[in-house]
């Protein structure tokens, strides 16, 4: 079958567009899928939203429509395919939940798929517009907050009483002439963007309105833009799925769920109901190994001082950090925390207590623990998924000089074992639902006398030093972000566990 000719074939490719010499006076408009993003398929992003707002049942519902969506795309009905995806993903869902998923879940995945050549041109222009067939409610938070886009023109969804109806609002899906009309409504003829970038025949209608026009050809092996080239890296994100779910991956996740739930219950029970010194081996038998590096300090049998314990200062990856560290040590070690779910407290095999965020009360509590024995603290105060460490609280450095930094990292393939917006009591189960969740625990050298407050250093200096030591061991970056910053960004709260999460 002969290839159908399109006027867009006459446009030069994006590599012919020079990014040098552009500036605040230059404006650009680009399509999203296959243009600003490497991937041409928007299904993974709809699937991420579907799982976040409706769990496995909503993902399954979307997957049922996938063959029909593929057929519509194959026969050139892009608009109908998008309508079907919107219906399967959004029908009956609260608009606030869609906005929450778009702001907290999608930016991480969008940011890992930016097209390098398009981004080079797009980022060099002073005025940026994205014109896409995808729902604006999905893409706008990422584009405006992370790529500094000035205007986002996308398909509008229909709503009723705060919920999505599953249909699109007028003028419909922004494909072909609808894209061109949307651009005309937003720009008069004299102020049309200087540069237009697209990747498919249907983009010709809006591209011909601009002075310079470039197409992004489909090529295999394109390496997306690295995070350090973005105006703002994605440090905080939410959602349970680790990977972008293609239709095949979504199908495998659905098949894995019935297997993973009893496996997770068994793993959690092995870690919480069995003696700590046995849990290490049971967890390993259940394909959830603990990799130990470095040498932990030997527990002192006798001590003449009032304080008997060593304080293990850890990076924070999941709610189970202290439990896994106790397994690595071969003995239960107490650990206070700011806020965990009631269920997590009940099933925890180690002694725990809630910190109050009152420095005097918290200091007394930690001192009491240290008088009784060793103690584990996660000085960040909350978990972070990315290779960054949040600011370390200096309180621990004021209370003892017996400090052992511990670098903790985890490896998961399907599910994140943390959440800022969901049900926290499910965190240990989601971590355990991965096929092979791995904890890697690295014991660093105990701080010498001259590295502690006893040598005249301030508590914040000690805390920053410990943060840097752990970051170096993990090849992470240090930040000044706090627990409050994370929860304000993802959930709009201060991170206190409410009734929803108990």
pLDDT in tens, 334-357: 998 876 777 777 788 888 877 777
Rounded to an integer, the average pLDDT of 379-406 is 94
Specify the 3-state DSSP secondary structure of 127.
Answer: strand
pLDDT value at position 23? 80
- Please count the other Cβ atoms lying within 10 Å of the Cβ belonging to residue 474: 17
How are beta strands 127-135 and 151-155 bridged, if at all? parallel
Which residues lie across from 408 on neighbouring strands?
A: 441
Asked whether the predicted pLDDT for residue 235 surpasses 50, the reply is yes
CA 320 from centroid of its chain's CA atoms: 19
- pLDDT tens digit sequence for 407-421: 999 999 999 999 999
What is d(CA 61, CA 56) in angstroms, rounded to the nearest whole number? 9
H-run or E-run covering 213: strand 212-215
pLDDT value at position 4? 54
Question: Is residue 299 very low, low, confident or very high in pLDDT (cuts 50, 70, 90)?
Answer: low
Question: Is residue 92 very low, low, confident or very high in pLDDT (cuts 50, 70, 90)?
Answer: very high
pLDDT value at position 499? 42
How are beta strands 163-168 and 157-160 bridged, if at all? antiparallel
- pLDDT tens digit sequence for 146-205: 999 999 999 999 999 999 999 999 999 999 999 999 999 999 988 999 999 999 888 999
- What residues have CB less than 8 Å from 396, skipping those under 6 apart? 311, 313, 366, 377, 379, 403, 463
Asked whether the predicted pLDDT for residue 308 surpasses 80, the reply is no
CA 444 from centroid of its chain's CA atoms: 28
Find, among 36, 65, 56, 219, the residue nearest to 139 by Cα: 36
Lowest-confidence pick of 29-43, 133-147, 261-275, 330-344 = 330-344
Q: Which domains, ranges and CATH numbers included, belong to the chain? A: 23-229 (3.40.50.1000), 259-501 (no CATH)
Residues in the chain: 502
Give me the DSSP letters along 463-494: HHHHHHHHHHHHT-EE----HHHHHHHHTSS-
What is d(CA 384, CA 376) in angstroms, rounded to the nearest whole number? 18
Asked whether the predicted pLDDT for residue 253 surpasses 90, the reply is yes
Question: Is residue 500 very low, low, confident or very high in pLDDT (cuts 50, 70, 90)?
Answer: very low
Specify the 3-state DSSP secondary structure of 211.
Answer: coil
- Check if the beta carbon of residue 85 is closer than 8 Å to that of residue 43: yes
Find, among 14, 440, 9, the residue nearest to 214 by Cα: 14
Burial of 311 (0-12, 13-18, 19+ CB in 10 A): buried
- pLDDT tens digit sequence for 36-86: 999 999 999 999 999 999 999 999 999 999 999 999 988 889 999 999 999
Asked whether the predicted pLDDT for residue 208 surpasses 50, the reply is yes
Mean of the per-residue pLDDT values for the chain? Answer: 91
pLDDT value at position 501? 45
Specify the 3-state DSSP secondary structure of 239.
Answer: coil
Find, among 139, 168, 140, 141, the residue nearest to 155 by Cα: 168
Backbone torsions φ then ψ of 209, nearest 5 degrees: -80, -15
- Please count the other Cβ atoms lying within 10 Å of the Cβ belonging to residue 388: 18
CA 64 from centroid of its chain's CA atoms: 26
pLDDT value at position 263? 97
Which residues lie across from 63 on neighbouring strands?
A: none
220 or 162, greater pLDDT: 162
Q: What percentage of residues in the chain have a pLDDT greater than 90?
A: 77
pLDDT value at position 495? 61
Lowest-confidence pick of 121-125, 358-362, 384-388 = 358-362
Question: Is residue 404 very low, low, confident or very high in pLDDT (cuts 50, 70, 90)?
Answer: very high
| CA-angle at 78, arms to 73 and 82, nearest 5° | 100
Question: Is residue 360 very low, low, confident or very high in pLDDT (cuts 50, 70, 90)?
Answer: confident
- Check if the beta carbon of residue 46 is closer than 8 Å to that of residue 62: yes
Backbone torsions φ then ψ of 403, nearest 5 degrees: -115, 130
């Amino acid at each position: 079958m002969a290839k159908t000719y399109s006027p867009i074939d006459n446009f030069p490719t994006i590599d012919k567009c020079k990014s040098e010499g552009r500036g605040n006076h230059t404006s650009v408009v680009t399509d999203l899928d296959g243009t600003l993003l490497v991937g041409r398929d928007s299904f993974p992003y709809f699937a991420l939203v579907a799982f976040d707002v409706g769990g496995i049942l909503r993902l399954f519902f979307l997957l049922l429509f996938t063959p029909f969506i593929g057929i519509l795309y194959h026969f050139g009905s892009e608009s109908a395919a998008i309508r079907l995806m919107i219906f399967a993903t959004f029908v009956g869902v609260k608009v606030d939940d869609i906005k929450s998923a778009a702001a907290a879940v999608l930016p991480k995945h969008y940011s890992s798929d930016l097209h390098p050549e398009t981004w080079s041109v797009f980022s060099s222009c002073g005025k940026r517009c994205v014109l896409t067939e995808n729902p604006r409610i999905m893409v706008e938070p990422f584009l405006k907050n992370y790529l500094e886009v000035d205007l986002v023109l996308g398909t509008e969804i229909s709503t009723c009483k705060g919920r999505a109806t599953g249909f699109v609002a007028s003028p419909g899906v922004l494909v072909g002439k609808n894209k061109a009309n949307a651009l005309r409504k937003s720009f008069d003829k004299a102020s049309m963007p200087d540069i237009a970038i697209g990747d498919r025949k249907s983009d010709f209608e809006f591209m011909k309105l601009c002075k310079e026009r470039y197409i992004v050809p489909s090529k295999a092996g394109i390496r997306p833009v690295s995070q350090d080239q973005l105006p703002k890296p994605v440090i905080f994100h939410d959602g349970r799925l680790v990977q972008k779910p293609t239709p095949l991956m979504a199908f495998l996740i659905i098949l894995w769920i019935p297997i993973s739930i009893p496996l997770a219950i068994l793993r959690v029970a092995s870690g919480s109901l069995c003696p700590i010194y046995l849990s290490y081996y049971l967890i390993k038998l259940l394909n959830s190994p603990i990799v130990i590096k470095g040498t932990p300090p030997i527990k002192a049998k006798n001590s003449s001082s009032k304080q008997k314990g060593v304080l293990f200062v850890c990076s924070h990856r999941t709610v189970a950090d202290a439990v896994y560290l106790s397994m690595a040590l071969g003995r239960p070690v107490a650990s206070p925390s700011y806020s965990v779910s009631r269920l997590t407290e009940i099933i925890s095999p180690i002694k725990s207590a809630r910190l109050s965020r009152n420095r005097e009360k918290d200091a007394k509590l930690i001192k009491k623990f240290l008088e009784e024995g060793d103690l584990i603290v996660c000085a960040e105060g909350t978990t972070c998924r990315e290779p960054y460490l949040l600011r370390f609280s200096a309180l621990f450095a004021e209370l003892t000089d017996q400090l052992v930094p511990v670098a903790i990292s985890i490896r998961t393939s399907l599910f994140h074992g943390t959440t800022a917006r969901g049900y926290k009591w499910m965190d240990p189960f989601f971590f355990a639902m991965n096929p092979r969740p791995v904890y890697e625990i690295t014991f660093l050298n105990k701080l010498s006398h001259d590295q502690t407050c006893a040598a005249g250093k301030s508590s914040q200096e000690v805390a920053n030093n410990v943060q840097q030591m752990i970051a170096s061991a993990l090849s992470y970056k240090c930040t000044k972000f706090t627990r409050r910053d994370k929860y304000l960004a993802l959930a709009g709260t201060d991170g206190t566990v409410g009734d929803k999460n108990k």
